[in-house]
Amino acid sequence: MTETLLELRNVTKYYDSKVGVENISFSLNSGEFLALFGPNGAGKTTTLKLIAGLIRPDSGEIIVMSRKLDGNASEAKNLIGYLPEYPSLPEYLTPEEFIEFLAALREVKSSEYAHELFKALGIDEFSNELIAKLSKGQRQLVAFTASIFHRPKILLLDEPFLGLDIFAQERISEILLEYISEGNSIIFSTHIFDFVKRFSHRVILISNGRIKDIIYDVENLNFGRLFKKFGGWAGCQQPQLSEK
Partner 1 sequence: MPATTTLRKIRYMTFYKLLSHFGALRKDKKFGIAYFLLLLGGFLVISFGLSSFFTGFLTKTTRIETVELILSIFFSTQFILGMIVARKGGISIFTSEYHYVACTPITPLQYLISDTFFQFFSSNFLSMPVFLPLICMVGGYFLKLDAFEILVMICFALLYSIIEIMFSQGLGTLLSKTGSELLTNLVALSLVLITAIQYPLLLFTDLSIDKIYTPPFTAALTLSYVFGKRDLIYPPIAFTIFVIITLLIYWRASKLWFFNYIGPNYVSSVFDVTSYTTRLKHKQVLYLFEKFSKIIPIPSTRRAFFTLYHLSRMIRDGTLWVMTISIIIFFVNIIFVNPGKMLGLYKFVNLLALIAVANMSHGLLWIAHDRINMWIPLSAPNGVRKVLGGFERSLIILNLILSSPYIALNRDLLSAFFLPSVVALIIIPPKIMTLLIASLREVGKTFTTQFIVMIFLSLSLPIVLIAPMVAGSLFYPPIDLTSMINYLFGATIYLGMVYTILCLLLNKKVSEYSDD
Interface positions with partner 1 (CB under 8 A) = 52-56, 70-75, 77-78, 80, 82, 84, 86-93, 97, 101-102, 104-107, 130, 132-133, 146, 244
Min CB(7)–partner 1 separation in Å? 18
In terms of CB distance, is 84 or 235 closer to partner 1?
A: 84
In terms of CB distance, is 151 or 201 closer to partner 1?
A: 151
In terms of CB distance, is 146 or 215 closer to partner 1?
A: 146
Min CB(2)–partner 1 separation in Å? 25
- SS3 readout for the chain: CCCEEEEEEEEEEEECCEEEEEEEEEEEECCCEEEEECCCCCCHHHHHHHHHCCCCCCEEEEEECCEECCCCCHHHHHCEEEECCCCCCCCCCCHHHHHHHHHHHHCCCCCHHHHHHHHHHCCHHHCCCCHHHCCHHHHHHHHHHHHHCCCCCEEEEECCCCCCCHHHHHHHHHHHHHHHHCCCEEEEECCCHHHHHHHCCEEEEEECCEEEEEECCCCCCCHHHHHHHCCHHHHHCCCCCCCC
Min CB(158)–partner 1 separation in Å? 10
Min CB(113)–partner 1 separation in Å? 16
In terms of CB distance, is 155 or 215 closer to partner 1?
A: 155
Min CB(77)–partner 1 separation in Å? 5
In terms of CB distance, is 135 or 222 closer to partner 1?
A: 135
